[in-house]
Amino acid sequence: MAASLVFRLHDRGPELVREVLLERGWEEYDKGERGEEDWNLYWRGSPFCNSQYRNLLPWQRLNHHPKTVGITRKDCLARNLKRMKAAFGSALYDFSPTTFILPSEYTRFLAEYNRLRMARGTSAYWIVKPVDLSKGKGIFIFEDIKDLVYDCAVVIQRYISNPLLISSYKFDLRIYVCVKSFRPLTVYIHQEGLVRFATEKYHLSSLHNLYSHLTNTSINKFGPFYKTEKGQVGKGCKWTMSKFRHFLQSQDIKELLLWQRINNIVTLTLLTIAASVPSSPNCVELLGFDILIDAKFKPWLLEVNYSPALTLDCQADVSVKKKLVGDLIDLMNYTSTDGLRDRAYQKCGYKQPFKANHPSAPVLSKLNHQKKRKGNKDSETQTLPLLKAPCQPAKMNKRQFKQCDFVANYQRRLPSVDFAEIHEARCRIFNTSAVKTHTDQKRNLIPGPDSRTNESALNRQSLPPLASRLMDNESLYVSDVTNHDNSETEAERERSGETDVSSSILDTQERGQGVRRGSQRPARIAVERTRGNGQHVPPVRVGDFIRTFPFNVATLKASQHKLDITTVLQEIHRLTARLISGQSDKMKSRGEEEVMADMDADNDFDSLLWGPKDPPLISQCFKST
């Protein structure tokens, strides 16, 4: 039987990730019990070092891409957005409030401050934020330059002084974005998110009152009115995005354009660093985009959070974040067990990676557990002698792994998450052509013991028309599983009980279904496919994660090899312009006709418009707006 999946948490957190993975039958990495490389997912709140990226083994994943600091540090973000504005104009890059980095740009700030004072007759408002702090630490707002005092590197930003208010309370949106890959750029935005409220009414006369001007939960949960019932806002300081959508609908607000603009902000921000992030196919990144909407319904980017908080402070957190983490794991496309890691150990002359529930080791794992609970600091050393028991794996260090032929060959042969290559390999193995029919694909379904095929069939019957249409689109091909060694045959997999076929759309149907603690969950795999021309297409949706980039044939083409930013910007502009003008059936220009013709010709590619409650297909928006 193949080994269980193993996760590793830095500094024992976040607890929510542990909870979700344990519920899915994963095991937690324990230094004393496992080899150094005997894990599948390493999750940490802070960045990994270069050597950790370099030494990644084929079955291992990290929860950060390298070099994303270009958007997650306030000064870097400001610099990068400025650079893009200079290169591509401000027509699209107009979503970030004017920002200066101090002290280096003090003179420029002063010029702008004076210009605005003269032009407006009244002064503008400014917000000052330390460049590398978060949670509202060190932030203040001022109107008069005499109040500008700072003793560390800060950004100084135009304060959006006319925010959209709900019952006179300021709020911002926390949008969860998963960058599955920077090369090619592949972006998902989660349908759920959080709305974070200030807990005192908004007044420009009280700039020093942080409970009125900042929407950070870390600040507001200590405010005097946190637990008070506050107009429509209610108690606490958070809503789910669903509740916000409901609110927008109750106010008869046309949401589509708002969501698309937020969607654009995410893509345009990621484009600023996409070309400079080294290719790292075994990594994913969850980012928190903070968006403020002003009274004219224009969304503004405030900042991008690295490792957004996964703590559960209130009911809204519970309902949003648990699903979010679950969907993120699904997006990583793991099978329920890991045959690859297992075989690597075996081919190196070791027995299977140690499993805590291995029949010959229950006493050991129990003992260790008890010791840890008692806070026994020596528990790690005390497990070591037991590790020498013959049925347990010797610990392998990185060098030994590097020397191991299997790994070296594997790494040369097949980058583990290069889906295009995996697809080809699978086609070779299954002796099928690259283009498959729906019927062909169904033949490859493997109804193993954990298979969800029957459940899937049931789900299919209750699907709404759009979902079923997508399902047909998205389940054209057998899923390619990142942790698979593609030299494995179907029969082998069947024996090991792995299930590797399920549709991402089906995953969305699972929402709300209970998950048994400790049960070995069936694999929930995002279906990847390859278009007739060999282009690799990431799934349109995984759980509540909606693919927002690439969003059409042109952006798919423009991002597959060398990123063609100009084309991407043109496409974003075109899509947004269409939504604004509401003109869809009538083609405005030959260029648009060509794009639509292209879409028709390649109608196996479509995307959902992220944002609305029941996200429509982008092609449908063109037809009906």
Query: What residues make contact with ligand ADP under the rule CB under 6 A?
Result: 97, 127, 129, 133-137, 139, 157, 159-160, 172, 214-216, 290, 292, 302-303
What is the total residue count of the chain?
625
Which DSSP symbol is given to 188? E
CB of 219 to ligand ADP, least distance (A): 8
CB of 308 to ligand ADP, least distance (A): 11
- Distance (Å, whole) CA 45 – CA 60: 17
362 preceded by a cis bond (ω within 30 of 0): no
217 vs 337 by CB, closer to ligand ADP = 217
CB of 561 to ligand ADP, least distance (A): 35
127 vs 270 by CB, closer to ligand ADP = 127
CB of 215 to ligand ADP, least distance (A): 4
95 vs 551 by CB, closer to ligand ADP = 95
Token pair for 434: 């690259």
298 vs 574 by CB, closer to ligand ADP = 298
215 vs 479 by CB, closer to ligand ADP = 215
Contact between 307 and 46 under an 8 Å Cβ cutoff? The reply is yes
Q: Which amino acid is at 317?
A: D
CB of 536 to ligand ADP, least distance (A): 35
CB of 274 to ligand ADP, least distance (A): 22
CB of 136 to ligand ADP, least distance (A): 4
Q: Residue 195 half-sphere exposure, CB side, CA atoms within 13 Å?
A: 19
Task: Please name the residues in contact with 9: beta carbons below 8 A apart, sequence gap of 6 or more.
Answer: 17, 18, 28, 29, 43, 44
State how far the alpha carbon of 142 is from the alpha carbons of 75, 157, 523, in Å: 19, 10, 53
* Interior angle at CA 361, CA 359 and CA 364, nearest 5: 150
Q: Which residues of 345-382 are buried (b: 16+ CB within 10 A; e: fewer)?
A: beebebebbbbbebeebeebbeebeebeeeeeeebeee
97 vs 616 by CB, closer to ligand ADP = 97
Strand order in 140-142's β-sheet? 99-102, 154-158, 126-130, 140-142
CB of 485 to ligand ADP, least distance (A): 42
199 vs 392 by CB, closer to ligand ADP = 199
Q: Which residue has the tokens 């300081």?
A: 237
Q: Residue 241 half-sphere exposure, CB side, CA atoms within 13 Å?
A: 22
Q: Cβ-count burial of 399 within 10 angstroms (0-12 exposed, 13-18 middle, 19+ buried)?
A: exposed
216 vs 307 by CB, closer to ligand ADP = 216
173, 219, 176, 177: which is closest to 196 by C-alpha? Answer: 173
75 vs 602 by CB, closer to ligand ADP = 75
Q: Which stretch of DSSP H or E encloses residue 190?
A: strand 185-197
CB of 518 to ligand ADP, least distance (A): 37
CB of 223 to ligand ADP, least distance (A): 13
53 vs 226 by CB, closer to ligand ADP = 226
302 vs 556 by CB, closer to ligand ADP = 302
Query: Around Cβ 225, how many Cβ atoms within 10 Å?
Result: 17
Q: Which stretch of DSSP H or E encloses residue 387?
A: helix 379-387
CB of 132 to ligand ADP, least distance (A): 9
CB of 100 to ligand ADP, least distance (A): 12
Q: Which residues of 576-598 are buried (b: 16+ CB within 10 A; e: fewer)?
A: bebbeeeebeeeeeeebeebeee
Q: What is the CA radius of gyration of the chain?
A: 26
Q: Which amino acid is at 112?
A: E
Query: Around Cβ 242, how many Cβ atoms within 10 Å?
Result: 16
181 vs 216 by CB, closer to ligand ADP = 216
